[in-house]
């Protein structure tokens, strides 16, 4: 009988998968994947040593080794802004999309958007671990916004009142940014 796949689940390591079809060993912890080594079916006993060494390695490393610690005060506007220079697409670590605290718990960001349809969410801590979408729902649906002409748009989030608003869809609650008209360069 040929063993196609063996899985070992441990609390400290996550999931260790030994896949004999692909002749690789992979360890996964959180969203990180590390290829540990290659082996032949004849060297399965030797590969066990790799699994044990990798398990030891993962048990002493933090889940996100090498990454910065989340900053709970960092609030970011993330969305489908790929076509806008400097804004990126669904990035929670883009410093250009960091919102600024106006009052305790109230953050805003003013951006220049070309005409088009977009979607967005608010992320806190520089990761997707804490994010809010439509209706201020945790991990909620994307919030759609349709910009009819190139313009400046103000995005706000109020963590105390549990509101996410923008100046396009909520002009009575969020004032439109003043300044030059981006469509004619003045």
pLDDT at 69: 65
Residues 124-176 pLDDT 10s? 998 999 999 999 999 999 999 999 999 999 999 999 999 999 999 999 999 98
Specify if 179 maps to a domain: no
Is residue 87 located within the same domain as residue 54?
Answer: no
Specify if 184 maps to a domain: no
Residues 101-129 pLDDT 10s? 999 999 999 999 999 999 999 999 989 99
Is residue 113 located within the same domain as residue 143?
Answer: yes
pTM above 0.75, yes or no: no
With pLDDT > 90 as the criterion, what percentage of the chain qualifies? 46
pLDDT at 78: 95
d(CA 86, CA 178): 21
pLDDT at 179: 58
Place of tokens 């933090």: 62
Is residue 80 located within the same domain as residue 124?
Answer: yes
Is residue 100 located within the same domain as residue 150?
Answer: yes
Domain count, the chain: 2
Confidence of residue 67 (pLDDT cuts 50, 70, 90): low
Helix (H) / strand (E) containing 7: strand 5-10
Specify the CATH number for the domain of residue 89. Answer: 2.60.40.10
Domain boundary among 16, 33, 60: 60
Is residue 108 located within the same domain as residue 137?
Answer: yes
Please choose, from the candidates 152, 171, 177, 174, the residue with its C-alpha nearest in 3D space to the C-alpha of residue 161: 174
* Helix, strand, or coil (residue 95): helix
Specify if 65 maps to a domain: no
Specify if 171 maps to a domain: no
From the number of C-beta atoms within 10 Å of its C-beta (0-12, 13-18, 19+), residue 8 rates as: middle
Alpha-carbon separation of residue 74 from 36, 88, 89, 162 (angstroms): 35, 17, 18, 17
Tell me which residue range forms the domain holding 39.
5-60
């Amino acid at each position: 009988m040929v063993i196609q796949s063996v899985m070992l689940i441990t609390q400290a390591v996550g999931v260790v998968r030994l896949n004999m079809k692909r002749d690789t060993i992979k360890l996964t912890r959180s969203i990180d994947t590390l290829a540990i080594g290659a082996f032949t079916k004849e060297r399965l006993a030797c590969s066990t040593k790799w699994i044990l060494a990798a398990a030891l390695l993962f048990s002493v490393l933090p889940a996100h080794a090498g990454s910065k610690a989340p900053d709970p005060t960092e609030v970011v506007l993330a969305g489908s802004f790929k076509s806008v220079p400097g804004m990126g697409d669904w990035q929670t670590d883009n410093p250009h999309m960091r919102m600024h605290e106006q009052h305790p718990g109230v953050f805003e960001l003013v951006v220049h958007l070309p005409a088009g349809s977009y979607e967005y969410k608010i992320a806190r801590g520089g990761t997707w671990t804490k994010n809010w979408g439509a209706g201020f729902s945790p991990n909620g649906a994307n919030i759609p916004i349709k910009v009819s002409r190139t313009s400046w748009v103000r995005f706000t989030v109020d963590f105390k009142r549990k509101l996410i608003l923008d100046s396009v869809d909520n002009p009575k609650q969020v004032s439109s940014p003043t300044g030059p008209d981006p469509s004619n360069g003045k």
